[in-house]
Structure 1
Amino acid sequence: MSEGGLAAPSRHPLDWRSPDFYDEAKLDAEARRIFDICHGCRRCFNLCDSFPRLFDLVDACANGELDTVESKDFKPIVDACTLCDMCYMTKCPYVPPHEFNLDFPHLMLRYRAVEAKKGEEGLADRELAKTDRNGKLAAYFAPLANWTTRLGHKTARIVVEKAAGLDRRAWLPSFVSKSLVDRAADSQGDADSQGAVNRDAPAHGRKAVIYATCYANYNDPDIGLAARAVLAKNGVETEVVHPRCCGMPLLEQGEIGEVAKAAKEVASAMRPWIEKGYDVVALVPSCALMLKSEWPLILPEDEDVKLLSKAAYDLSEYVVGIARKEGIAPGMQPVAAGGVALHISCHSRAQNIGQKARDLLRLIPEAKLQVIERCSGHGGAWGCKTGNFETALKVGAPVARQVAEGGKAIVTSECPLAGRHIAQGVENLGGADKPELYAHPIQLIAKAYGLENSKN
Structure 2
Amino acid sequence: MSEGGLEAPQRIPLNWQDPEFYDAEAIDAELRRVFDICHGCRLCFNLCDSFPRLFDLIDESETGELDSVSSDGFKPVVDACTLCDMCFMSTCPYTPPHEFMLDFPHLMLRHRAAEHKAKGKGFWDDQLTRTDRNGRLAGMAAPLANWATKTGNGLTRPILEDVAGVDRKAELPKFHSKSFASRAAHGPEVNREAPAAGRKAVLYATCFVNYNNPGIGEATQAILAANGVETVVEYPECCGMPQLEHGDLADVAGRARRVAAAMKPWLDDGYDIIALVPSCALMLKFEWPLLLPDDPAVRRLAEATRDVAQYIVEIAKGEGLAVKPKPLDGGVSLHLACHARAQNIGQKAAEMLRLIPDSDLKIIERCSGHGGSWGIKKENFETALKVGKNAARAAGREGKEYVASECPLAGMHMLQGMEILNGENPDNFHAPPKTSHHPVELFARACGLI
Q: What TM-score do you get using the length of structure 2 for normalisation?
A: 0.97
1:306 and 2:308 matched: no
Question: Is the contact made by 2:415 and 2:436 (CA closer than 8 Å) also made in structure 1?
Answer: no
Deviation at 1:140, TM superposition (A): 1.3
Alignment equivalent of 1:227, drawn from 215, 220, 223: 220
Partner SS for 1:154: coil
* Alignment partners' CA distance in 1, 2:323 and 2:304: 27
Contact 1:378 1:421 in 2 (8 A): yes
Contact 2:34 2:102 in 1 (8 A): yes
Task: Tell me what 1:350 maps to.
Answer: 342
Q: Secondary structure at the match of 1:437?
A: coil
Letter in 1 for 2:50: S
The alignment partner of 2:416 has SS state of helix
**Equivalent-residue separation in structure 1 for 2:325 and 2:330 (angstroms):** 17
Q: Which amino acid in structure 1 is aligned with residue 154 of structure 2?
A: K
| Structure-to-structure mapping, 1:285-296, within 5 angstroms | 285-296=278-289
Q: Which amino acid aligns with 2:399?
A: G
- Cα distance, 1:155 vs structure 2: 2.0
Bigger Cα displacement from structure 2, 433-442 vs 367-376? 433-442
SS of corresponding position for 1:155? coil
3-state DSSP of counterpart to 1:45: coil
The 5-angstrom pairing of residues 274-285 of structure 1 reads: 274-285=267-278
Report the Cα offset of residue 436 of structure 1: 5.0
Name which of 434, 437, 442 aligns with 2:435.
437
Q: Counterparts in 2 of 1:247-266, with a 5 A limit?
A: 247-266=240-259
| 8 Å Cα contact 1:234/1:329 also seen in 2 | yes
Q: Which runs of 5+ in 1 are unaligned?
A: 188-193
Give matches, 1:403-414, under 5 Å: 403-414=395-406
The corresponding residue for 1:109 is 109
- Structure 2 CA distance for aligned equivalents of residues 369 and 331 of structure 1: 18
**Which piece of structure 1 moves more, 29-38 or 322-331?**
322-331
Residue 4 of structure 1: how far off its partner (Å): 2.2
Superposed, 1:7-406 pairs within 5 Å as: 7-119=7-119, 121-185=121-185, 187=186, 194-335=187-328, 337-406=329-398
SS at match of 1:133: helix
* Alpha-carbon offset, residue 445 of structure 1: 1.2
Q: Name the CA distance, whole Å, in 1 between partners of 2:182 and 2:133.
A: 16
How far apart, CA to CA, are the structure 1 residues paired with 2:205 and 2:332? 26
Q: Percent identity at matched positions?
A: 61
Counterpart of 1:417? 409
Counterpart contact for 2:402–2:437, Cα < 8 Å: no
The alignment partner of 2:404 has SS state of strand
Match of 1:426 in 2: 418
TM-superposed deviation, 1:195: 2.8
* Contact 2:4/2:93 (8 A) holds in 1: yes
Q: Distance in 2 between matches of 1:351 and 1:365?
A: 27
Q: CA deviation at 1:3?
A: 1.8
Deviation by residue 1:72-108 (Cα, 9 ceiling, x = unmatched): 1101001100000000001100000011011000110
State how far apart, in whole Å, the 1-side matches of 2:162 and 2:145 are. Answer: 16
Counterparts of 1:386 and 1:155, CA distance in 2: 17
**CA positional deviation for 1:449:** 1.6
**Residue type of the partner of 2:287?**
E
User: 8 Å contact 1:411–1:436 — kept in the other structure?
Assistant: no
Unaligned 5+ segments in structure 2 are none
Cα displacement (A) at 1:120 = 5.0
Q: For residue 190 of structure 1, what is the aligned residue in structure 2?
A: none
Per-residue CA deviation, residues 267-298 of structure 1 (Å, 9 max, x unaligned), is: 11111101101000000000000000000000
Q: Secondary structure, in 3 states, of the residue corresponding to 2:73?
A: helix
Cα deviation code 1:187-242 (max 9, x no counterpart): 1xxxxxx5311122111110000000000001110100110001101110000010
User: Considering only aligned residues, what root-mean-square deviation do their CA atoms show, in Å?
Assistant: 1.1
Equivalent residues of 2:418, 2:431 under 8 A apart = no
Q: What letter is aligned with 2:124?
A: A
2: CA distance between counterparts of 1:75 and 1:262? Answer: 28
Number of matched pairs: 444
How far the C-alpha of 1:8 sits from its partner, in A, is 2.4
In structure 2, C-alpha distance between the alignment counterparts of 1:85 and 1:5, rounded to whole Å: 18
Distance 1:7 1:426 in 2: 37
Pick which of 211-220 and 404-413 moved more.
404-413
In 2, Cα distance between the equivalents of 1:297 and 1:338? 42
3-state SS of the aligned residue for 1:118?
helix
Listed one character per residue, the Cα deviations across residues 342-365 of structure 1 (whole Å, up to 9, x for unaligned) are: 000000000000000000101111
Separation in 1 of the partners of 2:121 and 2:34? 24
Residues in 1 aligned to 2:120 and 2:74: alpha-carbon distance in whole angstroms: 15
Is the CA contact (8 Å cut-off) linking 1:409 and 1:436 kept in structure 2? no
**Structure 1 CA distance for aligned equivalents of residues 90 and 400 of structure 2:** 27
Q: Secondary structure at the match of 1:78?
A: helix
Matched-pair contact (CA < 8 Å) for 1:438–1:444 = no
Say if 1:410 and 1:436, in contact at 8 Å, map to a contact too: no
**2:5 maps to what in 1?**
5
Shift of 1:407: 1.8
Q: CA deviation at 1:23?
A: 0.5
One-letter amino acid matched to 2:211: Y
What letter matches 1:243 in structure 2? P
**Runs of 4+ more than 4 Å apart:** none
